[in-house]
Each structure stands twice: as structure tokens, then as C-alpha cells.
């Protein structure tokens, strides 16, 4: 299956089967007269990137989103109709709207220039191959079972085989749904958040921080955008704004190294070549390798069983549970100590006079009861004595989250 996946991936990356499915129904923005301003912003922004032959598309969708995809021969930036409407409604002036669109476009161009969509393409290709092989296996198994069921003597065997097949399929689905997929998502989304920070940074370097700031500012009002979890696809919007705050425009175009850009592709082709080489060189020894694998799995099962019996008989599970609880308590205490130290540092370096563009982020941190974000915003230079619609930050906290007042009082001293 691994080799089939790699072969399909290579064909998919060259011919763009998956990409054609993704962009189906999209329209080129340059063909839509009323969105001429959007195409102008795209043309102006792409000048700051070492990119060519990128098509700017509009997707009819109620989702506020924009994304970038590519194959070996074609590159696309797609923005949804709802995203266009959202940014237009978020700002009153044409200048602010243009800057927000340029920040968004630059962010997506960063994804393109770094080939960030390739890992997802690998995943989608793997899913396609898995579905194809699963359908083939199901068809063959069903055919064999039906043939067997016709024979009177072995019809009972056909029923047994059916239930065994269904049980194995159920077990595989459970392993995928509750172990493999969550583990993959945890790792993939961690790196995904790192990539989003990098794309924000490159957008700010291409245009200066104001454009990306306005783009992110328009997302602050959306539910779920001011905090994140280990399974979030994006960092919190607060952290994203702080990450690009005051970054100056680079005098040079944004470009990436050959290794950084083509690493994933090189890895895929190397895996394909090595897999085929291994298969050819060891074709006559596959049965032997199969026996080794069976012996290894049997040994693993036996060792695991013996270990579990040993833990049960010696009551070793009690120290293991205590150790796990102690580890969680240690982590909790260290987190509290870290916040305490950060609170002392911030309280000694407060901005209490000069208003800044990030002052309003303090309100979202209070609303979400996020002390760590509140301290990070102050650390970045926000004014703790800001006035919001005629009210102090204490008045706002009293109304939105009274429990947060104790943190403000301690920070102010």
C-alpha cells in the first residue's frame, strides 16, 4: 500500500487530480469586473514574492476562509466570497480594506512559496489509495464468501468468515479513529500552527506589519479565534498579532532556499525509489521477511502480556498511577510559577501612558480569562491604562469578567 500511495502521489502531484477537485467551480477573479480591486491588490502583493504563474480564484462559499494549493505545474490562491464580504464590512475606508486584503494574499503566497500544501496532498493521496484498496478487498472478500455460501457443506464456514472479516474491519476502524488519527492530528496541527506563524511573519516582511495586522484584526470578532488548543489548526489570533507586531518591510523579495522548498518532494521521491529498490532486491525473500514479522509480532504480544501480568501481580500499577499524577501536578505547579514570574516582570515594565494598536487585545484576553495572553500583550507594550469607549480596563473587567480584576490589581501594584 505504501508503494501504491507514493506512485499515486507522484502522479497526483504532476497531473493535479486532487487540485482539480478542490478548485472545481471556482472563478478567476480577473474575469469578474466588480472584483477588479481584488485583482489589483493581488498583482501588487505578488511583486514582493519570488513566485510566478499563480492564479487567483474566487470560491462561492459561506465559510470565511482563504487557502493556497499547488501541483508541480500550477499554483492557486483561493478566497471565498464570505471572506471578501467579511473584510469589506470590517473596515470603513478603501485603504484599510486594501491593506487587509494584501496581508491575507501575502499570507497565502507564503504558503505557496514554501509548498505548505504538499503534506495535505500526501494525506489526501493516501486516503484515496486506502479507499481504493479497501473497496477491492471488500469486493474480493464478498465474492469469495458468496461463492463459499453456495456450497452446502461449507456454508457455515462462510458465515464465520463474514463475521471475522466484519470484526477485523471494526477493529481497524477503531484503531484508526481513536489512536492513529488523533495522534496524527496532534502532530500535524502542531506543525501547522508553526507554519501559520511563519506565513504571518513572511507576510509582514513582504508588506510591513500593518497589512497583516489589519487582516488579523478583522478575524478577532469571530468565535474561537482568540484562543487555541493542541488540536487547533491555527494559533490564537492574539498570539498571531503579537508575533508580527512592528515587523518592518524587507527591502528584498520573499524567497526560500532550495532545500526548504523541495524537502518534502525529495523525501517522497527518495522513499519511492528506496521502496522499489528494496522490493526488487528482496523479492525472493518476501516469505522469509513475512515469517520474521510474524515472529516479531508474536514476541511483542508475549512480552506485553508478561509485562501486564507482572504489573498486576506485583501491584506496580499503584506507583505508576502515583507517578502520572505527580507528573501532572509538577507540570501544573511549574506553569503557575512561570505565570507568577512573568507577572512580576511585566508589572515592573508597564506602559501606562502611550496608547498602542494592540491595546484592544487586552479586552479579549480579559473576556477569555486568559492571564497568559494578557501578560504577553502587556509585555509587547500595550497600555494597561487604556480607555475603551470611555471606560477603564477595570470597568470593562468588572462588567465582562469580575474574577479577572484581582490579576489587574496585582499587576498594577
For the residues of 158-202, what is the DSSP string, one character each? HHHHHHHHHHHHHHHHHHIIIIIHHHHHHHHHHHHHHHHHHHHHH
pLDDT at 239 over 90: yes
Q: What is the mean pLDDT of residues 73-93?
A: 95
What pLDDT score does 251 carry?
A: 92
* 79, 85 contact by CB (below 8 A): no
| Closest listed residue to residue 366, CA positions, set 388, 340, 342 | 388
What pLDDT score does 260 carry?
A: 66
Residue with cell 474575469: 31
What pLDDT score does 187 carry?
A: 78
pLDDT at 10 over 60: yes
Task: Calculate what percentage of the chain has a pLDDT beyond 90.
Answer: 53
* 361, 217 contact by CB (below 8 A): no
Q: What is the mean pLDDT of residues 283-291?
A: 66
Q: What is the mean pLDDT of residues 318-335?
A: 93
The pLDDT tens digits of the residues spanning 366-398 come to 999 999 999 999 999 999 999 988 889 999 999
Between these two residues, 363 and 122, which has the higher pLDDT value? 363
What pLDDT score does 355 carry?
A: 95
Question: Please, which pLDDT band fits residue 204 given cuts at 50, 70 and 90?
Answer: very high
Joined grid coordinates for residue 323: 507517578
Highest mean pLDDT out of 99-108, 223-232, 263-272, 341-350: 99-108
The pLDDT tens digits of the residues spanning 131-177 come to 777 777 778 777 877 777 777 666 667 677 777 777 877 877 787 77
Q: What is the mean pLDDT of the chain?
A: 86
Backbone phi, psi, residue 392, to 5°: -80, 170
Predicted TM-score (pTM) of the model is 0.81
- Rg over alpha carbons for the chain, rounded to the nearest Å, is 28
| Closest listed residue to residue 128, CA positions, set 285, 7, 213, 215 | 7
pLDDT at 226 over 70: no
273-283 burial code (b ≥16 CB/10 A, e <16):
eeeeeeeeeee
Lowest-confidence region among 81-85, 241-245, 267-271: 267-271
Question: Please, which pLDDT band fits residue 77 given cuts at 50, 70 and 90?
Answer: very high
Between these two residues, 300 and 25, which has the higher pLDDT value? 25
The pLDDT tens digits of the residues spanning 85-113 come to 999 999 999 999 999 999 999 999 999 99
Question: Please, which pLDDT band fits residue 237 given cuts at 50, 70 and 90?
Answer: very high
pLDDT at 322 over 70: yes
* 210, 244 contact by CB (below 8 A): no
What pLDDT score does 80 carry?
A: 97
Residue positions counted in the chain: 413
What are the DSSP E strand ranges found in 325-383?
Answer: none
What pLDDT score does 8 carry?
A: 73
Q: How far apart are CA 360 and CA 237, in angstroms?
A: 13
Lowest-confidence region among 222-236, 237-251, 317-331, 358-372: 222-236
What pLDDT score does 266 carry?
A: 73
* 245, 380 contact by CB (below 8 A): yes
| Closest listed residue to residue 6, CA positions, set 267, 284, 281 | 267
Q: How far apart are CA 305 and CA 5, in angstroms?
A: 34
Q: How far apart are CA 102 and CA 46, in angstroms?
A: 9
pLDDT at 3 over 70: no
Question: Please, which pLDDT band fits residue 271 given cuts at 50, 70 and 90?
Answer: low
Question: Please, which pLDDT band fits residue 15 given cuts at 50, 70 and 90?
Answer: confident
> Rounded to whole angstroms, what are the CA distances from 191 to 152, 174, 177, 231, 241?
57, 25, 21, 11, 19
Amino acid at each position: 500500500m505504501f508503494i501504491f500511495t507514493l506512485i499515486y502521489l507522484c502522479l497526483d502531484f504532476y497531473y493535479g487530480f486532487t487540485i482539480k477537485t478542490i478548485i472545481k467551480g471556482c472563478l478567476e477573479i480577473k474575469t469578474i469586473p466588480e472584483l477588479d480591486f481584488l485583482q489589483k491588490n493581488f498583482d501588487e502583493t505578488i511583486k514582493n514574492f519570488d513566485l510566478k504563474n499563480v492564479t487567483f480564484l474566487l470560491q462561492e462559499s459561506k465559510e470565511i476562509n482563504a487557502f493556497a494549493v499547488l501541483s508541480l505545474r500550477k499554483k492557486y490562491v483561493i478566497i471565498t466570497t464570505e471572506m471578501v464580504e467579511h473584510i469589506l464590512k470590517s473596515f470603513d475606508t478603501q485603504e484599510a480594506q486594501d491593506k487587509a486584503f494584501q496581508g491575507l494574499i501575502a499570507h497565502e503566497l507564503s504558503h505557496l512559496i514554501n509548498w505548505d500544501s504538499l503534506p495535505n496532498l500526501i494525506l489526501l493521496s493516501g486516503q484515496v489509495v486506502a479507499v481504493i484498496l479497501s473497496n477491492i478487498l471488500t469486493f474480493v472478500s464478498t465474492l469469495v464468501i458468496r461463492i463459499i455460501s453456495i456450497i452446502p457443506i461449507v456454508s457455515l464456514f462462510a458465515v464465520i468468515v463474514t463475521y471475522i472479516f466484519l470484526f477485523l474491519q471494526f477493529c481497524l476502524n477503531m484503531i484508526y479513529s481513536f489512536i492513529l488519527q488523533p495522534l496524527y492530528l496532534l502532530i500535524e496541527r502542531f506543525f501547522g500552527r508553526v507554519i501559520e506563524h511563519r506565513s504571518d511573519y513572511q507576510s509582514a516582511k513582504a508588506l510591513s506589519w500593518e497589512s497583516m495586522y489589519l487582516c488579523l484584526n478583522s478575524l478577532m470578532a469571530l468565535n474561537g479565534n482568540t484562543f487555541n488548543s493542541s488540536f487547533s489548526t491555527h494559533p490564537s489570533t492574539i498570539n498571531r498579532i503579537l508575533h508580527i507586531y512592528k515587523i518592518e518591510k524587507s527591502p528584498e523579495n520573499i524567497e526560500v532556499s532550495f532545500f526548504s522548498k523541495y524537502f518534502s518532494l525529495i523525501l517522497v521521491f527518495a522513499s519511492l525509489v528506496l521502496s522499489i529498490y528494496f522490493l526488487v532486491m528482496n523479492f525472493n525473500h518476501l516469505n522469509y521477511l513475512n515469517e520474521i514479522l510474524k515472529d516479531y509480532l508474536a514476541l511483542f504480544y508475549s512480552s506485553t502480556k508478561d509485562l501486564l501480568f507482572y504489573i498486576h501481580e506485583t501491584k506496580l500499577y499503584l506507583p505508576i498511577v502515583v507517578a502520572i499524577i505527580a507528573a501532572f501536578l509538577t507540570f501544573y505547579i511549574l506553569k503557575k510559577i512561570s505565570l507568577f514570574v512573568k507577572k512580576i516582570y511585566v508589572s515592573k515594565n508597564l506602559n501606562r501612558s502611550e496608547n498602542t494598536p494592540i491595546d484592544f487585545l487586552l479586552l479579549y484576553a480579559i473576556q477569555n480569562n486568559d492571564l497568559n495572553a494578557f501578560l504577553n500583550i502587556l509585555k509587547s507594550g500595550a497600555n494597561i491604562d487604556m480607555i475603551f469607549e470611555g471606560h477603564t480596563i477595570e470597568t470593562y473587567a468588572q462588567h465582562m469578567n469580575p474574577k479577572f480584576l484581582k490579576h489587574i490589581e496585582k499587576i498594577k501594584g
